[in-house]
């Protein structure tokens, strides 16, 4: 149910920056709260051992968690729930899918608006949503039909005109949101429209009140997994507005409108929203009468849950889970996050003129044996257990298991073996000279490693990697860098800092599996600046016409995962889990995609939330 | 005195001007800008570059400063990149929360400080005094964010006496009595948490002033003239001891306007402190510069208010 829509790739770090804004103070505060506030919960872990399967060794595994809430009792008619938006800053309040940029806003939006298409567990568009679609023979032209009973909350029908209007606004030169991306430039005539050379977008045609046709320049399997813009914009409301003024208008910020299961009743900017049910919702009348959304601080989320102050939350700080696994009034749902942490090696620079990756044969990290040895030297399994209680775990390939169709679970990556690492370095000519190794030519080898600050674990974790590398005789210098400077230096503007050799970062991957945006030749976010013919071939094949056949596409990405394991331009370190506690009175709720459970079904089994037993 | 006020306000203009240049330069010296965080492979870097161009982020700093100042003089502080709304409107939304929180804190601070300070100063070295000074030491030692969390847990969650977040109950109609009451109710716990900590300075100050004044010659004179003990304390000692506190008042306001990041964050209370901090880390420059300027203005005004109060309560001081 919970979908982070829009961007197909987002910075994990960007979300962290919000959570970690207060750096040390909130983290300290958080621990303080947890310790002082939940003595009961930790004293009686057995009271509700069934709620969370904790193993004897204090480790947890994502496999023990469900994505779907187990229903207990019978659903009441009506009722109201409280939804906690866990954030230590107020939400921005850009409450329209066409304009929002932050995740908290998306969490508000999901209650009263939705996309016209839904997708299944493999993120492929289905025909179960508010609109259905058909693809032409050549895979470039999509015909969408909006269901007749899909109406805006003011009673006006959602039309093809509205859908076209959303494209026109996002493609407009004055548009100030972050959505004008490669999905839009792939529409025929969009570039001309954006540049002001055309009045209309030639590739989009309104065929009828409820029928829209979009022609894309390039047909790829990625179109079916998040490549279509599915959020209409109400033309009867925004049609006469100045494009640059829409995002700050009342109709976006104070009286937003959608066609989702609930309607916005009132908003206190930045802190709370009250929703009432939208009886005219196209899937049917919602079971609940009212939903109250409020922002709660990550430091108090545990108390809010225990006291029943909130029934549901959008996210839960995974590091607080081990202390609260026994909370008796909630069920923890869990799923694999679409993200991975990784360590990257700088192998070249960015050519700003040609806008392509420029590999450097003489790069310090240019020897694949050196990179592979550095992977072998680190025990990510132990990192996951020691630092994250098993809620993050050893990563093997660059397509995380959140994409079960494409993640190659038979590929074990490179496993921890410091002795093999030493041997590999010896054989490659990196000879020990005293404590550390030298380059094969005898010159001194000092590797510069940067990692991001933020949170309690950031520095100890980076130090662990440095120690592991020192253990195989590599002299690695660590520098902890603040988020903005970090990406500046890694090269998010194309000005790579030559002093950086190795870095640790994380990616949140999109619903589409295509990794070209991160490892392609012309991708500025290809921070390792890695480029080979083989890599380009595989990435191109992954989105080619023959890849429409899922088994072919699987084969291509399997090959690519192995190729990246062999070449080690970066190596994945950890996969992550996402946990969400849900009050036991909640029924018909699920996280993740393709569960077939929707918010209008959400119900409660009793009037008041369960309160934790102390 | 009016002359003084006018003159001080005139001096403020170059002060603010200098401050604004300084702030602008420092803001630009920070690595990254509002678009740095948008590391999103589906966004064309060229589109980002175009947006930078449109926002004027590529211009040299003096050009940017000039454009900004021209607009600022007309009351337009630009658009917040993150909130997608005019900065003045955004600050307007938050500043009232902060002002109400500050006023409540200020009232509570003095309500606590004055009786405690007087008791402690008048009966110094008694058990009451020791208890009070003990409390002030605790107050000095306890970090605000820990104390705030303890208060929140105790009175918010454990006893359930106060709401645990937000500035008003969701869904209450603005303008009604229930709305006002709900606002005050939401204010009390954060304001009290803050007041209990910030008041300790004032208690200590008042105590030492009273002890100091007690031994002055004019008190001896008053006593010699046969003034009653209560008259000595209320008329002679207290009035003289309040001087430094009055002088502090203006600065106190400044400090509170700056917002109290911890309290706002712990109580999920949307105010200025939080806005300031998050705007810095997300490089929302227009908000940062406007806020720093506002703080600058507040501290200059605070100093002015302090001087004025001082000249009113202390006839020996005359501003020329």
Contact residues for A420 (Cβ-Cβ < 8 A; gap 6+):
A376
Residue with tokens 């029924």: A587
Contact residues for A202 (Cβ-Cβ < 8 A; gap 6+):
A188, A189, A192, A193
With CB atoms and an 8 Å threshold, state whether B165 touches A296.
yes
**φ and ψ at A357, to 5 degrees?**
-70, 135
- In tens, the pLDDT along A26-81 reads 232 232 222 222 222 222 233 333 344 445 577 899 888 999 999 888 999 899 99
| Chain A residue with the nearest C-alpha to that of B89 | A248
pLDDT of the residue at B41? 67
Q: Could you tell me if A292 lies within 8 Å of chain B, comparing CB atoms? A: yes
To test the contact with chain B by mutation, choose from A25, A41, A270 the residue with the greatest count of B C-beta atoms within 10 A, namely: A270
A contact residues 342-381, partner B, Cβ 8 Å cutoff? 355
Least confident of A157-166, A277-286, B203-212: B203-212
With CB atoms and an 8 Å threshold, state whether A484 touches B37.
yes
User: Considering the domain boundaries, does residue A136 fall inside one?
Assistant: yes
| Chain B residue with the nearest C-alpha to that of A247 | B84
Residues A147, A233, single domain; the answer is yes
- Share above pLDDT 70 across residues of chain A, in percent, rounded to a whole number: 91
d(CA A423, CA A428): 8
Q: CA dist A529 to A357, A363, A479, A602, Å?
A: 5, 11, 21, 47
How many folded domains does chain A comprise? Answer: 3
pLDDT of A170 > 70? The answer is yes
- In tens, the pLDDT along A486-501 reads 888 998 888 899 999 9
Residue with tokens 């380009």: A536
pLDDT of A25 > 80? The answer is no
| Chain A residue with the nearest C-alpha to that of B79 | A248
Q: Are A181 and A170 in contact (CB under 8 A)?
A: no
A contact residues 231-270, partner B, Cβ 8 Å cutoff? 247-248, 253, 265-266, 268-270
To test the contact with chain A by mutation, choose from B27, B28, B37 the residue with the greatest count of A C-beta atoms within 10 A, namely: B37
Residue with tokens 């996050």: A337
pLDDT of the residue at B258? 63
Interchain CB contacts (distance < 8 Å): A and B: 196
To test the contact with chain A by mutation, choose from B27, B42, B153 the residue with the greatest count of A C-beta atoms within 10 A, namely: B42
CA dihedral B53→B56→B57→B60, nearest 10 degrees, is 110
Tell me the chain B residues in contact with residue A18 when contact means C-beta distances shorter than 8 Å. 278
How far is the alpha carbon of A217 from chain B, nearest alpha carbon, in Å?
Answer: 16
Instruction: Tell me which residue in A14, A272, A494 faces B166 most closely, judged by beta carbons.
Output: A272
**φ and ψ at B117, to 5 degrees?**
-60, -45
User: Considering the domain boundaries, does residue A179 fall inside one?
Assistant: yes
pLDDT of A425 > 70? The answer is yes
Tell me the chain A residues in contact with residue B30 when contact means C-beta distances shorter than 8 Å. 484
With CB atoms and an 8 Å threshold, state whether A294 touches B89.
no
The number of helices, as runs of H, and strands, as runs of E, in chain B is 13, 0
User: Considering the domain boundaries, does residue A344 fall inside one?
Assistant: yes
How far is the alpha carbon of A99 from chain B, nearest alpha carbon, in Å?
Answer: 9
Range of the domain at A418: 339-576
Q: Are A399 and A515 in contact (CB under 8 A)?
A: yes
Per CATH, the homologous superfamily of domain B94-313 is MetI-like (1.10.3720.10)
Q: Are A334 and A67 in contact (CB under 8 A)?
A: yes
DSSP character at residue A158:
P
**φ and ψ at A407, to 5 degrees?**
-65, 130
Residues A352, A377, single domain; the answer is yes
> Which residue(s) pair with A448 in the sheet?
A477
Helix axes A103-112, A12-19, angle to 10 degrees: 90
Residues A241, A267, single domain; the answer is no
With CB atoms and an 8 Å threshold, state whether B40 touches A21.
no
Other beta carbons less than 10 A from residue B16's beta carbon? 14
Q: Could you tell me if A488 lies within 8 Å of chain B, comparing CB atoms? A: yes
With CB atoms and an 8 Å threshold, state whether B83 touches A93.
yes
d(CA B106, CA B11): 28
Residues A72, A147, single domain; the answer is no
How far is the alpha carbon of B165 from chain A, nearest alpha carbon, in Å?
Answer: 7
| Chain A residue with the nearest C-alpha to that of B283 | A484
Residues A368, A424, single domain; the answer is yes
User: Considering the domain boundaries, does residue A23 fall inside one?
Assistant: no
With CB atoms and an 8 Å threshold, state whether B153 touches A294.
no
Q: Which residue positions in chain B have pLDDT lower than 70?
A: 37-44, 257-259, 317-320
Provide the 3-class DSSP secondary structure of residue A445. Answer: coil
Confidence tier at A6 by pLDDT (50, 70, 90): very low
Residues A394, A484, single domain; the answer is yes
Give the pair of three-digit tokens for residue B320.
Answer: 């020329």
Tell me the chain B residues in contact with residue A268 when contact means C-beta distances shorter than 8 Å. 166-168, 170
Q: Are B252 and B110 in contact (CB under 8 A)?
A: no
Per-residue HEC secondary structure of A46-108 comes to HHHCCCCCCCCCCCCCHHHCECECCCCCCCCCCCEEEEEEECCCCCCCCCCCCCCCCHHHHHH
Q: CA dist A449 to A365, A471, A477, A505, Å?
A: 11, 16, 6, 11
Q: Are A36 and A558 in contact (CB under 8 A)?
A: no
d(CA B245, CA B249): 6
Helix axes B87-122, B177-214, angle to 10 degrees: 40
Residues A382, A424, single domain; the answer is yes
With CB atoms and an 8 Å threshold, state whether B157 touches A296.
no
User: Considering the domain boundaries, does residue A221 fall inside one?
Assistant: yes
- Pick the closest to residue B38 from A455, A177, A265, A250 (CA basis): A177
The larger pLDDT score, comparing residue A350 to residue A454, is at A350
With CB atoms and an 8 Å threshold, state whether A300 touches B277.
no
pLDDT of the residue at B319? 57
d(CA A252, CA A261): 18
pLDDT of A509 > 90? The answer is no
With CB atoms and an 8 Å threshold, state whether A182 touches B42.
yes
**φ and ψ at A145, to 5 degrees?**
-125, 120
What percent helix, strand, coil does chain A show, rounded to 5? 30, 20, 50
Residue A302's CATH number: 3.40.190.10
Instruction: Tell me which residue in B38, B149, B157 faces A29 most closely, judged by beta carbons.
Output: B149
Q: What is the mean pLDDT of residues A293-310?
A: 90
How far is the alpha carbon of B152 from chain A, nearest alpha carbon, in Å?
Answer: 9
d(CA B191, CA B195): 6
Residues A325, A449, single domain; the answer is no
d(CA A288, CA A76): 9
User: Considering the domain boundaries, does residue A223 fall inside one?
Assistant: yes
Instruction: Tell me which residue in B36, B153, B274 faces A492 most closely, judged by beta carbons.
Output: B36
Residues A421, A454, single domain; the answer is yes
- Pick the closest to residue B19 from B291, B284, B293, B287 (CA basis): B293
DSSP character at residue A224:
G
pLDDT of A573 > 90? The answer is yes
d(CA A439, CA A560): 30
Provide the 3-class DSSP secondary structure of residue A502. Answer: strand
- Pick the closest to residue A186 from A173, A174, A204 (CA basis): A204
Concatenated DSSP letters of A366-421: --HHHHHHHHHT--HHHHHHHHHTTSEEE--SSS-TTSTTT--TT---S---HHHH
pLDDT of the residue at B37? 67
d(CA A398, CA A505): 13
Residues A519, A371, single domain; the answer is yes
Instruction: Tell me which residue in A9, A94, A487 faces B36 most closely, judged by beta carbons.
Output: A487
With CB atoms and an 8 Å threshold, state whether B146 touches A89.
no
Q: What is the mean pLDDT of residues A314-343?
A: 92
Provide the 3-class DSSP secondary structure of residue A338. Answer: strand
Instruction: Tell me which residue in B41, B146, B282 faces A9 most closely, judged by beta carbons.
Output: B41
Q: Are B277 and B174 in contact (CB under 8 A)?
A: no
> Which residue(s) pair with A17 in the sheet?
none
Q: Let me know the angle formed at the C-alpha of A240 by A238 and A242, rounded to the nearest 5 degrees.
A: 85
Residues A368, A497, single domain; the answer is yes
- In tens, the pLDDT along B20-69 reads 888 888 887 877 777 776 666 666 677 777 777 777 777 888 888 888 88
pLDDT of A18 > 80? The answer is no
Q: Where are the domains of chain B?
A: 2-87, 94-313
User: Considering the domain boundaries, does residue A7 fall inside one?
Assistant: no
Tell me the chain A residues in contact with residue B86 when contact means C-beta distances shorter than 8 Å. 248
Other beta carbons less than 10 A from residue B25's beta carbon? 12
DSSP H or E segment with residue A571: strand A570-583
On the CB side of A503, CA atoms within 13 Å amount to 27
Tell me the chain B residues in contact with residue A92 when contact means C-beta distances shorter than 8 Å. 82-84
DSSP H or E segment with residue B26: helix B2-29
Instruction: Tell me which residue in A265, A292, A297 faces B268 most closely, judged by beta carbons.
Output: A297
pLDDT of the residue at A56? 56
Provide the 3-class DSSP secondary structure of residue A481. Answer: strand
pLDDT of the residue at A30? 30
d(CA A523, CA A528): 11
Its sign, for the CA torsion A517, A518, A520, A522, is positive
Residues A532, A425, single domain; the answer is yes
A contact residues 6-35, partner B, Cβ 8 Å cutoff? 7-11, 14, 17-18, 21-22, 25-26, 28-29, 32-33
Q: CA dist B299 to B256, B296, B313, Å?
A: 10, 5, 21
Burial class of B314 by CB neighbour count within 10 A (0 to 12, 13 to 18, 19+): middle
Confidence tier at A22 by pLDDT (50, 70, 90): very low
d(CA A50, CA A330): 11
How far is the alpha carbon of B154 from chain A, nearest alpha carbon, in Å?
Answer: 9
How far is the alpha carbon of B27 from chain A, nearest alpha carbon, in Å?
Answer: 13
DSSP character at residue A547:
G
User: Considering the domain boundaries, does residue A38 fall inside one?
Assistant: no
Q: Are A330 and A584 in contact (CB under 8 A)?
A: yes
Contact residues for A114 (Cβ-Cβ < 8 A; gap 6+):
A129, A130, A258, A259, A260
pLDDT of the residue at B218? 87
């Amino acid at each position: 149910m919970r979908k982070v829509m829009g961007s197909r790739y987002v910075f994990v770090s960007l979300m962290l920056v919000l959570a970690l804004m207060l750096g040390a103070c909130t983290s300290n505060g958080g621990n303080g709260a947890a310790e002082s506030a939940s003595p009961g919960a930790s004293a009686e872990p057995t009271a509700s051992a069934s709620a969370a399967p904790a193993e004897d060794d204090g480790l947890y595994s994502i496999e023990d968690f469900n994505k779907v809430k187990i229903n207990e009792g019978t659903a009441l008619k009506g009722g109201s729930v409280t939804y906690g938006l866990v954030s230590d800053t107020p939400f921005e309040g850009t409450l329209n899918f066409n304009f929002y940029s932050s995740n908290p806003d998306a969490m508000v939006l999901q209650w009263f608006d939705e996309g016209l298409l839904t997708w299944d567990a493999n993120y492929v568009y289905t025909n179960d949503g508010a609109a259905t679609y058909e693809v032409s023979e050549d895979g470039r032209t999509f015909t969408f039909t909006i269901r007749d009973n899909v109406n805006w909350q003011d009673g006006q029908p959602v039309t093809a005109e509205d859908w076209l209007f959303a494209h026109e606004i996002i493609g407009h030169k004055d548009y100030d949101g972050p959505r004008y991306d490669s999905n839009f430039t792939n529409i025929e005539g969009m570039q001309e429209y954006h540049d002001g050379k055309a009045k209309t977008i030639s590739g989009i045609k309104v065929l009828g009140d409820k029928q829209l046709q979009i022609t894309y320049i390039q047909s790829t399997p990625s179109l079916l997994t998040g490549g279509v813009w599915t959020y209409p914009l109400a033309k009867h409301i925004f049609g006469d507005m100045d494009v640059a003024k829409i995002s700050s208008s009342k109709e976006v910020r104070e009286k937003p409108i959608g066609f989702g299961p609930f309607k916005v009743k009132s908003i206190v900017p930045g802190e709370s929203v009250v929703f009432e049910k939208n009886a005219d919702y196209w899937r049917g009348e919602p079971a609940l009468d009212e939903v109250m959304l409020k922002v709660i601080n990550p430091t108090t989320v545990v108390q809010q849950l225990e006291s029943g102050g909130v029934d549901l939350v959008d996210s839960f700080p995974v590091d607080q889970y081990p202390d609260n696994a026994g909370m008796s009034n909630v069920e923890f749902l869990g799923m694999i996050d679409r993200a991975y942490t990784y360590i990257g090696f700088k192998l070249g620079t960015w050519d700003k003129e040609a806008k392509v990756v420029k590999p450097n044969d003489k790069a310090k990290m240019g020897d694949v044996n050196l990179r592979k040895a550095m992977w072998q030297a680190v025990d990510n399994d132990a990192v996951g257990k020691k630092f994250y209680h098993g809620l993050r775990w050893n990563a093997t390939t660059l397509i995380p298991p959140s994409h079960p169709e494409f993640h190659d679970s038979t590929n074990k990556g490179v496993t921890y073996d410091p002795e093999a690492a030493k041997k590999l370095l010896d054989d490659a000519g990196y000879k020990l000279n005293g404590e550390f190794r030298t380059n094969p030519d005898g010159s001194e080898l000092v590797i510069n490693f940067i990692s991001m600050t933020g949170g309690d674990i950031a520095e100890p974790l980076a130090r662990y990697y440095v120690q592991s590398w020192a253990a195989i005789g590599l002299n690695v210098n660590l520098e902890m860098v603040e988020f903005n400077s970090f990406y500046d230096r890694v090269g998010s503007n194309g000005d790579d800092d030559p002093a950086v050799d190795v870095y640790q970062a994380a990616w949140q991957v999109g619903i589409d599996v295509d990794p070209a945006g991160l490892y392609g030749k012309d991708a500025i976010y290809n921070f390792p600046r890695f480029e080979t013919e083989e890599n380009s071939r595989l990435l191109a094949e992954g989105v080619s016409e023959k890849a429409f056949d899922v088994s072919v596409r699987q084969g291509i990405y399997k090959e690519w995962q192995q190729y990246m394991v062999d070449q080690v331009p970066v190596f994945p370190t950890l996969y992550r889990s996402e946990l969400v506690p849900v009050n036991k009175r909640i029924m018909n709720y699920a996280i993740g995609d393709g569960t077939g459970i929707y918010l209008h079904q959400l119900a409660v089994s009793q009037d008041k939330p369960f309160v934790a037993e102390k | 005195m009016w002359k003084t006020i006018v003159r001080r306000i005139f001096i403020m203009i170059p002060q603010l001007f200098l401050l604004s240049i300084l702030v602008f330069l420092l803001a630009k010296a920070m690595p990254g800008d509002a678009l740095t965080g948008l590391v999103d492979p589906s966004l064309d870097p060229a589109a980002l570059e175009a947006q930078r161009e449109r926002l004027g982020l590529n211009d040299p700093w003096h050009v940017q400063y000039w454009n900004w100042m021209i607009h600022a003089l007309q009351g337009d502080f630009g658009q917040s990149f993150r909130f997608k709304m005019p900065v003045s409107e955004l600050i307007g939304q938050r500043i009232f929360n902060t002002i109400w929180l500050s006023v409540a804190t200020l009232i509570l601070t003095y309500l606590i400080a004055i009786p405690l300070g007087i008791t402690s100063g008048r009966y110094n070295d008694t058990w009451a005094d020791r208890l009070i000074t003990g409390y002030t030491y605790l107050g000095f030692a306890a970090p605000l964010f820990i104390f705030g969390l303890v208060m929140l847990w105790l009175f918010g969650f454990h006893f359930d006496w106060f709401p645990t977040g937000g500035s008003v109950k969701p869904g209450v109609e603005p303008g009604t009595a229930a709305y006002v009451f709900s606002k005050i109710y939401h204010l009390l716990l954060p304001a009290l948490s803050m007041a209990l900590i910030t008041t300790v300075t004032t208690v200590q100050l008042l105590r030492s002033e009273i002890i100091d004044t007690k031994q002055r010659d004019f008190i001896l004179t008053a006593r010699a003239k046969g003034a009653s003990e209560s008259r000595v304390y209320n008329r002679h000692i207290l009035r003289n001891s309040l001087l430094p506190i009055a002088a502090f008042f203006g600065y106190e306001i400044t400090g509170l306007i700056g917002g109290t990041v911890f309290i706002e964050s712990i109580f999920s209370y949307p105010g200025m402190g939080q806005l300031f901090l998050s705007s810095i880390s997300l490089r929302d420059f227009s908000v940062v510069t406007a806020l720093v300027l506002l703080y600058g203005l507040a501290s200059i005004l605070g100093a002015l208010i302090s001087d004025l109060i001082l000249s009113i309560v202390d006839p020996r001081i005359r501003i020329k």
